[in-house]
Amino acid sequence: MYGAQWRGARVAFLREHPFCAMCGKALRGRDAVVDHIVPHRGDAALFWDEGNWQALCKFCHDSRKQRVEHGGLVGGHDENGMPLDRAHPWNVGM
């Protein structure tokens, strides 16, 4: 699935989505990843569903996204010290 067709689709997607969906950083070259929001696990329909794609910087993909996929919380807080992750216990029910 990750052949020439994917490489072309990746370039086009990143051209339309030049910022990391998690941290907002501008994406450049090898620092840019097209991530499958829901892991496709070999499902071709899910693999090619652009609604299931997001642009991430390599750091967020390799750290934050992996933590979320393995049941953890996304780090970070707002200017008041409140966790950004909506699933954080402090944010549940708010």
Q: Is the pTM of this model over 0.85?
A: no
Report how far residue 52's alpha carbon sits from residue 37's, in angstroms, rounded to the nearest whole number: 5
- Angular region, 90: left φ>0, alpha ψ -120 to 50, beta rest: alpha
**Cα angle 69, 33, 60; round to 5:** 50
Tell me the range of 6-10, 77-81, 90-94 where mean pLDDT is highest: 6-10
pLDDT tens for 48-59 read: 999 999 999 999
pLDDT of residue 86: 67
